[in-house]
Amino acid sequence: MKRLILAAVLGAAVLATTAATPQDEWEKQVRAQLTAVGEHFATQGYTLTHRVWTGALADGATTTVQIPLQGGREYQIMGVCDTDCSDLDLRLYNPAGTEIDSDLLEDDAPIVSVESARAGTYTVRVLMAACSEEPCRYGIGVYGK
């Protein structure tokens, strides 16, 4: 059910970005999706806690994002991608390098979570699993409570 609600929110966000300029169109799509997700997470007591990370990846490519997290908080880390992407995956690693969560489903809106996080720098590995028009833009939003 949670994924269906987020899918509806993201679909509306993509439709709202059709007037974007060509050079910024894909990043605007990603940022609009993260804004919509943030509004959804706000109803559950979460707020955006970090700047939004955006980038571009070719099909099958990966990158990492280093995220400093506070101890004693719950975090939802959401990935989104542009309309040329149909599958984005996330893996979350704690400061010791141990994988603590992953979302490898065949979708374009992965979520990884950590509760009662030990303070430190966590790593999110982003995989552009399916991109039809390279490169595809992606964004990462970190929401905490």
Assess contact for 135 and 85: CB atoms under 8 A. no
Residue ranges per structural domain of the chain:
2-144
Using CA atoms, how far apart are residues 125 and 9, in angstroms rounded to an integer? 24
Task: Tell me which of 2.60.120.380, 3.40.50.720, 1.10.3720.10, 2.70.98.60 is the CATH number of domain 2-144.
Answer: 2.60.120.380
Average pLDDT over residues 96-112: 97
Query: Does residue 60 have a pLDDT over 70?
Result: yes
- Per-residue pLDDT of 63-83, as tens digits, reads 999 999 999 999 999 999 999
Assess contact for 136 and 128: CB atoms under 8 A. yes
Output the pTM of the full model.
0.83
- Cite the DSSP H helix spans in the chain: 2-15, 25-42
Smallest Cα–Cα separation from 144: which of 70, 89, 65, 33? 70
- Per-residue pLDDT of 10-29, as tens digits, reads 444 444 434 444 447 999 99
